[in-house]
Each structure stands twice: as structure tokens, then as C-alpha cells.
Chains A and B, each alone.
Chain A
Amino acid sequence: MPSIDDELSPLQLNRFQHLRHFLTIEGLSRKHLTDILDTADTFIEVGSRSIKKVPLLRGKTVANLFFEASTRTRTTFELAAKRLSADVLNINITTSATSKGESLSDMLRNLEAMAVDMFVVRHAQSGAPHFIAKSVTPRVSVINAGDGRHAHPTQAMLDMLTIRQHKHKFEGLKVAIVGDILHSRVARSQIQALNLLGAEEVRVIAPDTLLPPYVDQFGVKVFSSMKEGMRDVDVVIMLRLQKERMEGALLPSEQEFFRLYGLSQDKLALAKPDAIVMHPGPINRGVEIESAVADGPQSVILNQVTNGIAVRMAVMSMAMSGQIAELTADEEVA
């Protein structure tokens, strides 16, 4: 069977195997992930100073290209870039304006001509950041801020940082991810990250209609009931449920979903007593999670938000660093 580009180094790494884009967790090593977490830790320290800003990306320009609206994610990326002293350009593009590939390419060429150094991309189509990373010049790094159902690697890494802060290590941890796995880019990236970092067991709990085909090949244990799936877990990650799921005959109603899969106090009691509860937000209270749990002592949802800025600062500075190293190496070869 002929193979295509098997020999090429992965798109998101430079020749030294360091990040030069950040597109997905897949294909990275445990060291890549721990480097991101360690660097993020140093940025958490920066966030606690009176002046929460370092000059690392001074003179660099970061463009937030949001083809899909998301105020929260865009805001944390913007804050992260600004705390690195980069100039930030926010570009909200309705998909209709760029439904033709050609105009997307044209737009990218225009931004490159303005010497933008980094694109933070949110797109409704899986693989859009890959497409952009393949088509940009070597002077641009691409950060995936969520693409279709594919990946949301910065969200997964901020979740990993949150877990590490509370549990200190991944070995021996049992983690349950609950809800709409099928449509969740966050879940895909979390599963990959947890497996890479050595979590003992990653569980997904959902009805079959909300599970991707062949989900068992992701390295997870599949449960359709909370009663079994929640037993003895150290970490519970609740996913967001979109309202439109009722229309495609995937679920009967929000009420039934909450009864079966919503995180209530009594279901949480099945987990370990010191289990932490996470949610990528925004929360649908009473659909995915009961308010008493979301605001309860085991919830670390607000830590996740704080960590989001640090992780994004880490990833942006590492990708920029990888870009610089690659350019320098190119010059030396030339």
C-alpha cells in the first residue's frame, strides 16, 4: 500500500521536535505535555504579580481568527497574548463570508502581508487549523482554539493543569468524562492528553447516541450508566450539552438526560470522597450539572478559568519559540 508523507515530521513540530504550531494533542509525547504544564505553572506565578505582564512577545502580532463565535475562549486568548505583550487583532468572521476555500486563503495571505506572527483559530470545521497551518508561511504559528468536533487542545491542557494542581500526578487516576462525547472536541483532546500523561483509566459515560463510532479505540472504558461509571473516580469532567441535540433524535429531552447523566450530589457520592468536578463551561445548570455541585466544595470550575490564561500563554510562547528556532535553522542551512 503506497504511503504518503509518512516520513515528514508532524505538522505541528519543528525539526527539533518542539512545538511550532499547536493543533492537537495527538502525535505529541508525554514530554511535550509536561513541558506545556511546567511552563504554564511559571505563568501562573506571573498572573499573581502586581504587573501581570511579561515582555516575551513584544512586537509580535497575534490574530484571533474566530470563524465561530466564542467570547470566553477568545477573551482568554486575548488576555494571554496581551500578558505576553503581543499586539492582538480580533477578527470575527462569519462562516458565510469564507465558505469558499479561496477567500479563506486570500484572507490568510492578507494577514500574512500585515506580518501577523500567530493565528489563533476557532472554526466549525474539523481540520481547519491543520489546513491553515499547511498553507501559511514559515513566519506564522497556528494555535487551535477549537475546530469542529476534532480538537480543543488548549482546553484539554488547562484541564490537565487543573487536575495536576489538585491530584499532583496522573498515575493511578480514574477520570470519568460524562455527556455528549460525540460532538465534543474537548473530550477528544482530554482523552488523548489523559492517556499520554499516564492516567490509570479514562472512562466515558454517555448513551450510545452521544458516543463516536469505535470510541473504544480511543483508549477509554465505555459506560452507559452513571451508577457504574462514577464508581471510585478521582476526577469527573462534565461536558456541555447543546440544545440542538434533541432535534436529531439523539436524545429525548433535557429532563431525561439530566435524570440519567446530570451530575447531582447523589451521583457524585459514588466517586471518591476527594474527587474533583470539572466543566469546560459555559454550564447549563440543571441539564449537565446541579447548581449545588457546580458551586460546591468539589468543583474546580473557576480554577479552570484561571489556568486557561496560563496555559494559553505557555502554548503561545512555546509555539513562537519553535517558529523562531525553525527560522534560525533555515537561515543556517541557507
Chain B
Amino acid sequence: MSGRILIKGGRIIDPSQSLDTQSDLYIADGEVVAIGAAPADFNADMMIEAAGSWVTPGLVDLCAYLREPGYEHKASIASESLAAVKGGFTTLCCPPATSPVNDTAAVTNLIYDQALTAGKAKILPIGALTKGLAGEQLSEMHALREAGCVGVSNLRYPFRDNQVMKRCLEYACSQDITIFVCPEDYALAKDGCVHEGATSGLLGLSGIPAIAETMAVAQWLILAEETEARIHLGQLSCAKSVELVADAKRRGLKVTCDVALANLIYTDAVIKDFNPAFHVRPPLRREEDRKALLKGVNDGVIDAICSHHQPHESAAKLAPFAETRSGMSVIELVLPQIIALTTSGELRLDAAMRALTTGPAQVLELSTGSLQIGSAADVALIDPTEKWLVTESNLVSKGKNCPWLDTEVVGLAYKTIVEGRVVYDRALMME
């Protein structure tokens, strides 16, 4: 059903046009057609009373693991795209860590097919930068791009040598495709499972030093400058990395970056009792890093906040800390956690919303993540004050490895619209 929708009296927050105002939003034929006054002959098929709500562009996530194909025991495109729209997301990028690895158009097509079948969020795959993510041979980047990959990445897998890395950049540049980099020096990070610092020392866990990331960031920036390739640095965790990116941006490099939600909220101190819920990669680092990441979002140096959603089966977290799988299932909790950070004053609302909408959309060079007239009507209707208890049963994601289980949070998306179609309606879910 993609008819005419009137969203009435909400607080429209759209950083793409620096808009924060109470007004009416008009949708027709899957597009935003007006804000404020109704266009001529507009007869709404559906009217949504939105007084007291936020009306924002649907959120855009640069990194959410959907686990399909290959890891359906953890999650599926169907389960996670529903979780995403419940979280207010309308566009998701999924990394190539599937089985088989998304290094061929066939896998990309399969992901698109499954996403269409699920019919919830828009899913944009990121292809593998090297065949099998093995770091040796170039993947067929052109074919991947043709099939719909919005970028390529080698995730945290190492390259055989710097020559391979340089050629990857050169080839990607020639195909005008963005490389999504997870900057991490393989040898320095090897075996590590937490930030190398006071906590790792105390708990006797192998650490990943900050230089494992900052050295890699510096190396990628130098290579990007040399090759003129466009790179996106995903999930920065260190203050120094933000500094390096800010400097590169000043010098005009084609570089963007994002931060994962968890690194904005926690430091390594939270791991004190070996709680595997906080086993994430990149690791939670020091308070000064967290502060610099928040500042990076507020200043706009960091373009996007990603969920870094990683659903797991329960057994993945049932082991001694280092043997557990890293990652949190958080896509349904991004909004309440960001609202908490704005309430506490650590994030500015406009900066946070930019980093969740137009910021990531610009990284993808898409016009999505915006409510400008003529853009796709991807909209989230958010109640910023509703309290709710996070439980295993009310999480839609198949992964219950959420660090906020059994805690009360504030704020939720109660309706999510993708191209003029209501794909999530809390009132219907509650029945």
C-alpha cells in the first residue's frame, strides 16, 4: 500500500535541510511531496496524528550483519530487516562476511532477492574487496557494483602484503567504487579481544592496542592520498584516529568515517567481570577515546554512527571471554541509546540525527536519509519519551546478545515507512 499519507503535527527533524520544526509531512507515490502546506488535490488515504513525535528520515546504517547467506542459525535477512525497521532504520548496508563470501554477483543477487521477499528495509550489500576476503586476488568489483554492491571491503582480514593493498585501492578507484575499511593492523591486533590497557592487564586478557587502529588509519590515509581512491573508515574507536581523519579531510582527501554505537557509550572498564556481552571489535577503549568519538560526531568529523549490529546464537556468548564471538545485537536499541546520549548532553540532537540519516547517505552517495521534496519517503516516526523494558521476547532480532536486556530504555520508533509504505507499525506488532 503506497498511497497518500499525511503525517500531521510532528516535530520534523531533517538535518539534510537543517530542518527542525513542527509541521505536516505529505507523502504520495512513495515520495515526500510537501512539508507544511498541502499540495493541491492532496487527499490523504492515511492520516497519522504525530503531535509529540519526531518525524525523521528513516535511519541509515552503514554496517549491520544480517548473517545470510550461511549463518542462518544466528539470524536471517527476514528477521534482521524486521528488527531494523522496528529500530527506525530504512536502509542497511551488510558486510560481505557471509558464507559463501559476497565476492560474486550471485551472492549479491541472492541478498537482494531475500531483502525483496522480506519487504522491510532496503538492504545494500557491501562486496568483498578480495576474493574470499583472502587478501590476495582482486574481487570482480565491477560485477559486484553492477549487481548492486555499494562498496567493497576486506573487513578485518589481512592483505598478503602492502602491494596487494595498494592495487586494491588503485583498481577500486578506477571503478569508482568506495572501499569500506576496518582499519586494524593484523599482527598488532592478533589474539586480542579487548583494548590493551589497564583492564586488559588486570584481567589478563590479550589486548588490541590503540596503535593497531591508528597505524592502520595512517597507512590507509597515505595510500588513499597516493591513489586518490575513495575510502570510508568504519568503526573508529580511538581519539587519535578521529584526529587523523580530521586532518585528512582538511587536506581534501576523499575520506569518510563512522563510529559504532557501543564505542560511544562504553569504555573497557565495563568488562571488569568478564562480561562477554561487551566483547566487541573494535574493542571498547578509554574514556578519552569515547569523549573524542562523541566530539567527532558533534563536530561532523565522524560522518555516521553505525549500529555494528551482530546477532549471535546464544552459544556464541557461552564461553570464557576470549572464546566468545564478538559483537552485540543492537539495531533495535540505537534510537533509545542515542536519545539517552542526547538527554545526557553528550551528543547534540542535530549532530546525532545527521550521523544517522544524511551523514551515512552521503557516504553512500545516495539521496536517501532526507525528507527533501522528491526524495523517497523513508520516514521514521519516533516517540522520544516512551519507556520500555528490553526483554528477549520483545527483541525482534534473532540475536538476543543485547547488552541492555532487562533494562528500561526511553524512546522508540512506532511507525517506519519505506518509500511511502508502512513497513512497521508498533500498534500492529503488539497485537
Contact = CB atoms under 8 A, between A and B. Distances in A.
Query: Are any A and B Cβ atoms less than 8 Å apart in their complex?
Result: yes
8 contacts: A2-B407, A100-B315, A101-B316, A101-B319, A126-B321, A131-B274, A147-B204, A214-B198
A283 interface: no
B205 interface: yes
Interface in A1-55: 1-5, 11, 26
A101 B324 contact: yes
Interface stretch (A148-156, A288-296, A313-321, A324-332): A148-156
Given A26-B202, A147-B204, A218-B202, A126 B275 contact: no
B106 interface: no
A130 B274 contact: yes
A131 B273 CA distance: 9
A105 interface: yes
A149 B321 CA distance: 13
B202 A188 contact: yes
Contact of B205 (A135, A150, A217): A150
B292 interface: no
Contacts of A212: 200-201
B275 A2 contact: no
Nearest to B275: A4
B319 A218 contact: no
A128 interface: yes
B196 interface: yes
B248 interface: no
A125 B201 CA distance: 14
A130 B273 contact: yes
A297 interface: no
B202 A148 contact: no
A127 B265 contact: no
Interface in A61-106: 99-102, 104-105
A297 B266 CA distance: 52
A102 B318 CA distance: 6
Given A130-B273, A130-B274, A213 B196 contact: yes
B205 A127 contact: yes
Interface of A: 1-5, 11, 26, 99-102, 104-105, 123, 125-128, 130-131, 135, 147-151, 185, 188, 212-215, 217-218
Contacts of B267: 1
Given A1-B266, A105-B318, A150 B273 contact: no
B274 A127 contact: yes
Contacts of A123: 320
Given A100-B315, A105-B318, A135-B318, A4 B270 contact: yes
Contact of B274 (A3, A126, A217): A126
Contact of B320 (A5, A102, A126, A149): A126
A151 B204 contact: yes
A162 to B, nearest CB: 23
B202 A104 contact: no
B274 A101 contact: no
Contacts of B275: 4-5
A150 B322 CA distance: 12
A5 B266 CA distance: 14
B204 A148 contact: yes
Nearest to A132: B320
Interface of B: 196-198, 200-205, 207, 209, 265-267, 270, 273-277, 315-324, 340, 403-404, 407
A66 B202 CA distance: 23
Nearest to B200: A213
A11 B274 CA distance: 11
B197 A213 contact: yes
**Which 7 pairs between the two chains have the least Cβ-Cβ distance?**
A101-B319, A149-B204, A150-B204, A127-B274, A125-B320, A212-B201, A128-B320
Given A125-B320, A128-B320, A185-B204, 9 more contacts: A4-B270, A4-B407, A99-B323, A100-B319, A101-B318, A102-B315, A125-B321, A135-B318, A214-B198
A125 B202 CA distance: 14
Nearest to B270: A4
Contacts of B201: 212-215, 217-218
A188 B404 CA distance: 31
Contacts of A148: 204-205, 320, 322
Contacts of A151: 204
A92 B266 CA distance: 38
Given A11-B273, A105-B318, A126 B204 contact: yes
Contacts of A128: 320
Nearest to A148: B204
Contacts of B323: 99, 101, 125
Contact of A150 (B203, B324, B407): B203
A215 B207 CA distance: 13
Contacts of B202: 26, 188, 217-218
Nearest to A181: B201
Residue from A130, A135, A215 having most chain B Cβ neighbours under 10 A: A130
B333 to A, nearest CB: 11
A128 B277 CA distance: 15
Given A214-B197, A214-B201, A127 B320 contact: yes
Nearest to B346: A1
A147 B276 CA distance: 16
A104 B318 CA distance: 9
A214 to B, nearest CB: 4
Nearest to B277: A4
Residue from A1, A130, A188 having most chain B Cβ neighbours under 10 A: A1
B320 to A, nearest CB: 4
B210 to A, nearest CB: 10
Given A151-B204, A218-B201, A1 B265 contact: yes
Nearest to A102: B315
Nearest to B316: A101
Nearest to B407: A2
Residue from A99, A105, A147, A212 having most chain B Cβ neighbours under 10 A: A212
Residue from B197, B200, B205, B320 having most chain A Cβ neighbours under 10 A: B320
